[in-house]
Structure 1
């Protein structure tokens, strides 16, 4: 993913030549707006996302094991 600095630079460079004198100021404004908007998205780092996904996969597998165990115990109980 591109950094905020890269995105701000690309936006500033995409402006028409008439605003070239304002390019650095606009780049700073773009950077501030991007940082502000991204902060509101409540994003998590990729590593944290991957760790959470792994924990969820483990929990789902364990839940499946426990469901099978409960079903086995219930069938034993019904046979008695």
Structure 2
């Protein structure tokens, strides 16, 4: 799902943004922020970068096949029109 390292970095950045006095009072805030982020992000319908890249490649191949099929249909229609032409 989500890269735990990136999630940990994000939690650390948020914890670092908390003023020092508040940070001292809220011991373990980074862990709690990480836990909340994981909980909320898991509710979202997200895909990993790897899954996105794979689907992008599938889409590119599908587009190439569709373009080839469209070109073939044009050729076949032209050929059919030629063979049905009255002389």
TM range (shorter): 0.7 to 0.9
List 4+ stretches of structure 1 deviating above 3 A: none
TM-score, reference length from structure 1:
0.82
Report 1 or 2 for greater relative contact order, CA contacts < 8 Å, sequence distance ≥ 6.
Answer: 2
Larger Rg: 2
Q: Which has the higher helix share?
A: 1
TM-score, reference length from structure 2:
0.77
- Unaligned runs of 5+ residues in structure 1 are none
Say how many residue pairs are matched: 79
- Unaligned runs of 5+ residues in structure 2 are none
RMSD: 1.8
SS at match of 2:56: helix
